[in-house]
Amino acid sequence: TVTNVSSCSLGYVCRPLLDSVLPSLPPTVSDLDVPPLLREHFILSGYRPLGLPWRCCVLSLLQIHNQTLTTWSLLLAALALLLRFTGFAFLRDTYSLRLSCISFLASCSAAANVLHCRSEEMHYFLFFLHSVSAAVYQYGCALALSLYSVDAIWTQSMLGQVYLPLTAILSWLSCALCCYTKLTLRSKFAIHRRICRLFPMGVAFLVIMGPFVRRLTIYRWSNGPALMLHFFQVVLFLLSTFFFCFPVPECFAPGHYDLAGNSHHVYHALRSLCTLVQQEALFHDFLWRRPALVRQMGEQHLLLTCISFFCPMVCCSMTALAMRSRARAELEKEQR
């Protein structure tokens, strides 16, 4: 009896503590219960209510809602890239730097999907952060491709000389337009914002893939598995772009693909797989070209090349901060 009384007393003491540490999550709501900014076209339910506490936002990782699959696909991709990065952290060059960049991108995307329901202002901030990481990822791809996926003839050509500056400008333009369309088209459906953001992303991708096309025309398919991996990456990117722009299959049955199988889930799954395949392709290129690059350019020159990586990062970050200030001012104006 004494034991039972002690157990009951301990339960009464611990229950409030557990409730404060692990609060119960509110049920998901319909699209009519969230602002237009957070709605997805043809997704009618499974939304988390706006204004959740930080702990509830994090704990929603274990809840079934319309972004659960998206968040976990990004987290698993970030974990895989982080494990890959630990094996190359001692290499102070573009490949290890790019792995850390991709891990940061996947982490930012996952954080944006988990925490954006805190408030509209936080939604803007996390999306702008995601736009910065995506732009830096674009330039990181171009930097790695220009070093490890092409030969010295292309690097010394006129196109090779302007390639990185042009990619840096396009990466910044991609970030700026993504932030601008997010802010100015916030009353529109997500499909309109997606199409407006596709143009700068598509242009940047075409420039980034320049070295791959050059290499394919010269070496054909005889240079090991790297070319096949690059080709597979292009196919995955094009497929993910299709699902990014068009709400398939949910447009044929609104409300039936809210929790699983909608275009947003498919897009992020394909993009995560695309990133992993691209990383493997660049790893093969890294083994193929790095010894020759070290002999031609030296370790110091390679490290100086990596420093240019921070130029688009700073420009994109300043742009995102400016857009965040504008978003905050507009939200405060609406609340008056």
**Binding-site positions:** 264, 268
Q: How far apart are CA 102 and CA 77, in angstroms?
A: 9
Q: What is each CA distance from 34 to 46, 67, 89, 170, 294, in whole angstroms?
A: 11, 14, 43, 34, 55
Residues 139/98, Cβ–Cβ less than 8 Å: no
- Distance, C-alpha 128 to centroid of its chain: 11
Q: Of the candidates 222, 220, 204, 203, which has an alpha carbon nearest to the alpha carbon of residue 212?
A: 220
Residues 272/57, Cβ–Cβ less than 8 Å: no
Residues with Cβ within 8 Å of residue 111, at least 6 apart in sequence? 126, 129
Binding residues for Zn(2+): 264, 268
Q: Sort 72 into a burial class: Cβ within 10 Å, 0-12 / 13-18 / 19+.
A: middle
Q: How far apart are CA 125 and CA 317, in angstroms?
A: 11
One-letter amino acid for residue 38 of the chain: L
Q: How far apart are CA 253 and CA 330, in angstroms?
A: 35
Q: How far apart are CA 88 and CA 101, in angstroms?
A: 13
